Amino acid sequence: MRARHVILAAALALPACSAADTPRGVDISLSGFLGQDPGLQPGAPGAASYVHIEPGIDLARFTAVDLEPPQAWLSEAQRAKIGEDQLAYLLTALDHSLRESLGAHWDLTDRSAPDVLRIRLAICNPPPAGGGLTAFSRLVPYSLIADQPVKASASNFLNLDAVHAEVELLDGSLRLAAFVDRLQGSGSLGTVFPSWADVAGKCSAWGERLVHHLTDYGMVPTRGGPR
């Protein structure tokens, strides 16, 4: 069982997901996706909630992105309650949104090369009772699920004001940066997304946030003009 680290984060609400844009003090329980000791420190205003940056980081030499399929880290109870099909649809919507955002600025590839930045990402909403979390990473074709309704169990998972993304930027296997960003939910158990396309639209805030981080660290867009 991976150790779970609890940190106090002054998390920043993402503007596309909430009307509130002021920091709030919240407990974020990390999943283990970033390892036993990711070395995270509080982020500066406008940055991710918690960050770890290797000294001298400069992403200017990277011209393309290798985005690995996103993961969800869950307890067995969460996995059973949400259902594996709904989890696959959730990760598919997130993957679609991230690829749209990143692909508007850089070529997407699955090759390994000196000019390719590798990105790993997981979402997590740890239950209050704690316990071991395990990774789930199945995707399905987005075209098959975009118009399907979102079941209440998946909507509740997204709307409980506790979902966050754990992100790792790598040069091959060498970690360059890691950070944690929070997705601000509605806090309502009764909010149901009309479709998975609507979920993908909400996740676009994470995609644009990720683009913002990459350009902050020196990566220059090679598509779509300057930012």
Alpha-carbon torsion 22, 30, 172, 176, what sign?
positive
Q: How many residues does the chain have?
A: 227
Cα 27 from Cα 94, distance rounded (Å) = 23
Q: For 153-182, how does the pLDDT look when each residue is reduced to its tens digit (9 = 90+)?
A: 898 888 765 688 999 999 999 999 998 987
φ, ψ of residue 211 to 5 degrees: the values are -60, -45
Q: What is the predicted pLDDT for the residue at 160? A: 60
- Residue 139's nearest CA partner among 102, 99, 95, 108 is 95
Out of 21-25, 149-153, 181-185, 223-227, the most confident range is 149-153
Q: Reduced to 3 states, what is the DSSP secondary structure of residue 8? A: strand
Cα 111 from Cα 162, distance rounded (Å) = 34
Q: For 85-132, how does the pLDDT look when each residue is reduced to its tens digit (9 = 90+)?
A: 999 999 999 999 999 999 999 999 999 999 999 999 999 887 766 668
pTM equals 0.83
- Specify the amino acid at residue 174: L
